Amino acid sequence: MRHPIFLSLVATAVVGLSACDPSGDAQVKRAIDDMNIVDETNLNEVMLTVGDPDEAVNYFAGANRNDPGRIDLQRGLATSLIRAGRSSDAIVAWKAVVAHPEAAPDDSVELADAYIRTNDWDNAAATLNSIPPTHETYKRYRLEAMVADSKQQWSKADSFYQTASGLTTTPASVLNNWGFSKLTRGEYKEAERLFSDALRHDSGMFTAKNNLILARGAQRKYDLPVIPMNQTERAQLLYTLALTAIKQNDVTIGKGLLREAIDTHPQHFDEATRSLRALEDNVSN
């Protein structure tokens, strides 16, 4: 809603334009159109960031019907479909954006991202390959790294992850992805280092905390590292460590960690309780 004082100032300006110039009507129309553009731009931004994803999809779908051919509205629809978890529909939407005469390389990057979300790695790779090599952005290289991972092209993946991490001031997410790549390769020490680096940049990233525990557990390091965690997180990390120990046949250590997780959790820890009961029943049988 516009502020009443602002409205009165605009109205005064509009009246002034009409009184001073025979062409005032045209100027009034331009002034009102400018105000509408500002309002629409603000609403678009709200829908893309804080609005409900499904409402945003409906909003941009309607806007595209009312004003077809505008690439900003097409991008808004494609972005909203991603936010709403409708990746297959987003692919169709991003294809339309990429085919637009005003499309930019970033639009192809977003199309590649949508392909990856549907596990269509071949089309993601083809889309990334169609982008000029001079288009060097964080997201482009992060996606290139993920595609290289999917093909087990480890040297290429490492190179892309390294480049991506240097192109952003908030590298925690890409460092976590890189660490998980190392984890899947069995390079546990390097994975541990990368997860620790991710947490130095974002101490609240629980995924990196859990992955760090997996990397340490794979090395039979069964103590929790010194990282920020609340009581619930501590219990969940102990549970992850317990399962890792049990999978490596360190059953006694795993049982002890399960009991510690149950005792640590501020509420009833159902998963850990079931795991411990199943383990004890199996041993007794």
CATH (domain of 194): 1.25.40.10
Average pLDDT over residues 160-189: 97
For residues 29 and 43, what is the distance between their CA atoms, to the nearest angstrom? 21
Please report the pLDDT score of residue 11 as a whole number.
Answer: 40
Q: How many CB atoms within 10 Å of residue 239?
A: 24
Does residue 76 sit within a domain?
no
Please report the pLDDT score of residue 30 as a whole number.
Answer: 53
Please report the pLDDT score of residue 25 as a whole number.
Answer: 59
Average pLDDT over residues 108-120: 98
Please report the pLDDT score of residue 24 as a whole number.
Answer: 55
- One domain for residues 218 and 166: yes
- One domain for residues 211 and 255: no
The domain boundary residue, chosen from 223, 243, 259? 223
Structure tokens of 28? Answer: 């009034």
Name the pLDDT band for 64 (thresholds 50, 70, 90): very high
- One domain for residues 163 and 210: yes
Does residue 167 sit within a domain?
yes
- One domain for residues 187 and 217: yes
- One domain for residues 165 and 217: yes
Spatial neighbors of 84 by CB under 8 A, at least 6 apart, are 53, 54, 56, 57
For residues 244 and 92, what is the distance between their CA atoms, to the nearest angstrom? 41
Domain count, the chain: 2
- One domain for residues 158 and 217: yes
The domain boundary residue, chosen from 223, 252, 272? 223
- One domain for residues 162 and 206: yes
Q: What does the pLDDT look like over 233-276, one tens digit per residue?
A: 999 999 999 999 999 999 999 999 999 999 999 998 999 999 99
Please report, for residues 76, 143, 267, 271, the alpha-carbon distance to residue 110 in angstroms, rounded to integers and kept in the order given.
12, 10, 41, 38
Does residue 89 sit within a domain?
no
Please report the pLDDT score of residue 281 as a whole number.
Answer: 77
Spatial neighbors of 231 by CB under 8 A, at least 6 apart, are 264, 265, 266
Does residue 282 sit within a domain?
yes
Question: Which residue type occupies 164?
Answer: A
Contacts 24+ apart (CB under 8 A), 44-50: 44/72, 44/73, 44/76, 47/76, 47/80, 48/76, 48/79, 48/80
For residues 164 and 97, what is the distance between their CA atoms, to the nearest angstrom? 25
Name the pLDDT band for 95 (thresholds 50, 70, 90): very high
Domain that holds residue 255: 229-285
Res 40 pLDDT > 70? no
What is the per-residue DSSP string for 232-279? HHHHHHHHHHHHHHHHTT-HHHHHHHHHHHHHHSSS--HHHHHHHHHH
The domain boundary residue, chosen from 176, 197, 223? 223
What SS3 state is found at 50?
A: coil
Does residue 81 sit within a domain?
no
Please report the pLDDT score of residue 41 as a whole number.
Answer: 66
Res 46 pLDDT > 90? no
pTM (two decimals): 0.80
What is the per-residue DSSP string for 59-125? HHHHHHHHSTT-HHHHHHHHHHHHHTT-HHHHHHHHHHHHTSTT--HHHHHHHHHHHHHTT-HHHHH
- Residue showing tokens 């999978």: 247
Res 20 pLDDT > 70? no
- One domain for residues 211 and 273: no
What does pLDDT average to over the chain? 88
Cβ-count burial of 281 within 10 angstroms (0-12 exposed, 13-18 middle, 19+ buried)?
Answer: exposed
Structure tokens of 209? Answer: 């905390």
Does residue 216 sit within a domain?
yes
pLDDT: which is higher, 76 or 19: 76
- One domain for residues 281 and 240: yes
For residues 246 and 234, what is the distance between their CA atoms, to the nearest angstrom? 18
Does residue 161 sit within a domain?
yes
Average pLDDT over residues 44-68: 88
Looking at the chain, the whole-number percentage of residues with pLDDT higher than 90 is: 78
- One domain for residues 213 and 246: no
Cβ-count burial of 248 within 10 angstroms (0-12 exposed, 13-18 middle, 19+ buried)?
Answer: middle
Q: How many Cα atoms sit within 13 Å of 103 on the Cβ side?
A: 17
Does residue 159 sit within a domain?
yes
